[in-house]
């Protein structure tokens, strides 16, 4: 299998909410393998490095394969 590195960037619905609330919610719902960036107010970035047969398959998977 190949290793894929990808980043998902989001604008938060409410930029006044502490971004760590989003990070905690993601972790509690199984997103525990991302490097999280919260440097810009109202934005969050999640970087993943995952193995899969194809990039599409890996980006759609929720848990390690």
Domain positions in the chain are 2-60
Tell me the pTM: 0.73
User: Which single residue is written with the structure tokens 């590195």?
Assistant: 5
The average confidence (pLDDT) of the chain is 84
54 against 36, higher pLDDT: 36
Q: Which long-range contacts (CB under 8 A, 24 or more apart) does 33-38 make?
A: 33/64
Predicted local distance difference test score (pLDDT) of residue 64: 47
């Amino acid at each position: 299998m190949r290793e894929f590195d990808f980043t998902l960037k989001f604008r938060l619905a409410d930029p006044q909410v502490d971004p760590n609330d989003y990070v905690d919610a993601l972790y509690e719902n199984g997103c525990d393998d991302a490097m999280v960036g919260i440097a810009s107010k109202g934005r969050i970035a999640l970087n993943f490095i995952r193995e899969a047969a194809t990039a599409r398959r890996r980006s759609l998977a929720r848990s390690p394969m």
